[in-house]
């Protein structure tokens, strides 16, 4: 009995599958056991045709393939190549230990690319479960970005068999390639960023308080809500904030590409973080993920390490807004279904945009608000206190004026964010300021006696919750980083307090 390794999905992670084969005497048959899906079962016809069309003999025996562990459901056409190889190398002395083999077979024996390959292999690499793999030749360009894995590209079934027979002279088809972008290096880790700004903050005239808050949000990955009249620039600031986010490590970029492929998008290896814009008519399943049989990833999971933007925030259903509290707090999303229970990482920067009232004119000096107090209160009550308590920065936008002028550009703001990111890494932080644990807050956000007294006064005056106190400290730490200060000073704390909801 011979065995090769392959993989399948269980939620967002890949699980190693052992492909075992036996060829025994009996009536000729071809069976696959181990909970195969329809696309895996169809491998029988593809494998048989690939062998016969390449002048290989198809053994007139009882052929059985076992996909272990048997309790996992297997899906995908990536098992084709491993099955065909096991048939052809039956009785051969080649050592197939630790070899992963991925590839879909054409009826003519050509090895084809499978859209699942990149996220599957990346997940295995992150778990340090894979070291060498035979893959379709056309997948090499994307797969070469994954570090610490030797890839051997093959175009046909015949090439794959020849490679495993002569392993002593086999060499990797490609070397791991690095990300081509500016970077800085800290403790052996490279952090990449790009200086291309398709939308620039120079286009936003005035709104200095909101731009300052956007800078703080980007530098520390703090949740932010922008409130203002229609057309004052809320969406403009949100869309431009994406371009000034902190640098990305190599693993961050690879994780982003994996999510792009799972979302059906063309992978982009540029160090630009994802931005998921959610419409208020979206269903709960599309936002958080789900499905009646297999739990699929939603907008919240796809925003991991990036931005999740909710425009017209109070128009979202109460169920969605309240369900958002868990990933905002725990940085993960859990989906429970009868057939599966899945947990996805969800470290995102939340941006919410809203009008001050249903008609939008409450804060406008030149237009009359058409809403009564009951309508305004009902509108604002759609956002609960526990939800708002998870917001770091609350900003009321200014009215648009003809005298407004542009100030900082995206390039200038991004340079400030990169320097703040470097300061955080230099002091040993693994997470963004917004994601610091209580223990890390005590370590990196320590306050002097004078600053602690100011915070104590604010706690008493504004009746801050425990969560709010921690958020004020984390925002103050980000403001200190932008000011190039090693310690949190009084002015940093006061500015952080100014962004709390009254």
Is the pLDDT at 401 greater than 70, yes or no?
yes
Is the pLDDT at 192 greater than 70, yes or no?
yes
Least confident among 186-200, 263-277, 308-322, 432-446:
263-277
Q: What is the pLDDT of residues 144-187, one digit of tens each?
A: 888 888 999 999 999 999 989 888 777 887 766 667 788 999 88
Q: Which residues pair with 350 in a beta bridge?
A: 308
Q: Which of 170, 174, 177, 118 is nearest to 151 (CA)?
A: 174
What span, in angstroms and rounded, lies between the C-alpha atoms of 60 and 445? Answer: 72
What span, in angstroms and rounded, lies between the C-alpha atoms of 238 and 307? Answer: 9
For the segment 251-259, the average pLDDT, to the nearest whole number, is 89
User: What pLDDT is recorded for position 168?
Assistant: 77
User: What pLDDT is recorded for position 224?
Assistant: 97
Is the pLDDT at 250 greater than 60, yes or no?
yes
Nearest 10 degrees: CA dihedral of 90, 93, 95, 99?
Answer: -20
User: What pLDDT is recorded for position 337?
Assistant: 67
Q: What share of the chain in percent tops pLDDT 70?
A: 97
Q: What is the pLDDT of residues 12-57, one digit of tens each?
A: 789 999 999 999 988 889 999 999 999 899 999 999 999 998 888 8
Contacts for 231 with CB less than 8 Å, ≥ 6 apart = 400
Higher pLDDT, 291 or 292: 291
User: What pLDDT is recorded for position 339?
Assistant: 63
Domains of the chain, first to last: 2-169 (3.30.230.10), 186-406 (3.40.50.300)
User: What pLDDT is recorded for position 177?
Assistant: 62
Average pLDDT, the chain: 91
Higher pLDDT, 500 or 181: 500
Q: What is the pLDDT of residues 271-285, one digit of tens each?
A: 999 999 999 999 998
Structure tokens at 226: 């922008």
User: What pLDDT is recorded for position 186?
Assistant: 87
User: What pLDDT is recorded for position 116?
Assistant: 81
What confidence category does residue 2 fall into, taking pLDDT thresholds of 50, 70 and 90?
A: confident
What span, in angstroms and rounded, lies between the C-alpha atoms of 477 and 463? Answer: 21
Pairing relation of β-strands 393-396 and 224-227? parallel
The answer to whether 31 and 64 are in contact (CB under 8 A) is: yes
3-state secondary structure of 348: coil
pTM check: above 0.75: yes
Q: What share of the chain in percent tops pLDDT 90?
A: 69
The answer to whether 323 and 288 are in contact (CB under 8 A) is: yes
């Amino acid at each position: 009995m011979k065995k090769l390794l392959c993989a399948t999905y269980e939620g967002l992670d890949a699980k190693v599958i052992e492909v075992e084969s036996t060829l025994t005497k009996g009536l000729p048959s071809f069976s696959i056991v181990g909970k195969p899906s329809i696309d895996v079962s169809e491998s029988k016809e593809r494998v048989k045709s690939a062998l016969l069309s390449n002048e290989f003999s198809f053994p007139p025996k009882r052929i059985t393939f076992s996909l272990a562990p048997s309790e996992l459901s297997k899906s995908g056409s990536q098992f084709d190549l491993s099955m065909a190889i096991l048939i052809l190398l039956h009785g051969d002395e080649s050592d197939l230990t630790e070899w992963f083999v991925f590839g879909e077979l054409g009826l003519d024996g050509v090895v084809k690319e499978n859209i699942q390959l990149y996220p599957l292999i990346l997940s295995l690499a992150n778990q340090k479960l894979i070291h060498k793999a035979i893959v379709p030749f056309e997948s090499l360009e994307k797969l070469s970005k994954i570090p610490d894995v030797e890839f051997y590209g093959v175009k046909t079934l015949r090439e794959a068999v020849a490679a495993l027979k002569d392993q002593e002279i086999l060499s990797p088809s490609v070397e791991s390639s690095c990300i081509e972008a500016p970077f800085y290096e800290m403790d052996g880790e490279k952090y990449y960023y790009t200086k291309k700004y398709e939308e620039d903050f120079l286009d936003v005239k005035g709104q200095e308080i909101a731009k300052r808050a956007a800078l703080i949000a980007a530098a520390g990955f703090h949740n932010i809500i922008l409130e203002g009249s229609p057309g004052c620039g809320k969406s403009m600031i949100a869309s431009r904030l994406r371009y000034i986010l902190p640098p990305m490590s190599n693993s961050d970029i690879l994780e982003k590409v994996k999510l792009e492929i799972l979302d059906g998008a063309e992978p982009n290896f540029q160090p630009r973080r994802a931005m998921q814009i959610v419409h208020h008519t979206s269903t709960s399943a599309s936002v958080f993920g789900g499905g009646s049989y297999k739990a699929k990833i939603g907008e919240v999971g796809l925003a991991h390490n990036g931005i999740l933007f909710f425009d017209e925030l109070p128009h979202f259903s109460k169920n969605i807004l309240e369900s958002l509290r868990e990933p905002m707090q725990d940085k993960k999303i859990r989906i429970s279904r009868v057939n599966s229970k899945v947990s996805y990482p969800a470290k995102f920067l939340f941006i919410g945009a809203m009008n001050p009232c249903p008609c939008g004119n409450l804060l406008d000096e030149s237009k009359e608000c058409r809403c009564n107090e009951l309508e305004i209160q009902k509108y604002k009550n759609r956002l609960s206190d526990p939800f708002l308590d998870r917001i770091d920065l609350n900003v009321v936008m200014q009215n648009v004026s003809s005298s407004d002028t542009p100030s900082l550009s995206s390039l200038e703001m991004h340079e400030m964010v990169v320097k703040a990111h470097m300061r955080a890494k230099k002091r040993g932080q693994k997470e963004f300021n917004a994601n610091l644990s209580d223990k890390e807050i005590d370590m990196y956000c320590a306050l002097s006696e004078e600053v602690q007294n100011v915070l104590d006064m604010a706690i008493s005056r504004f009746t801050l919750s425990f969560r709010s106190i921690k958020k004020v400290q984390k925002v103050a730490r980000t403001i200190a980083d932008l000011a190039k200060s090693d310690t949190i000073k009084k002015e940093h704390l006061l500015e952080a307090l100014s962004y709390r909801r009254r």
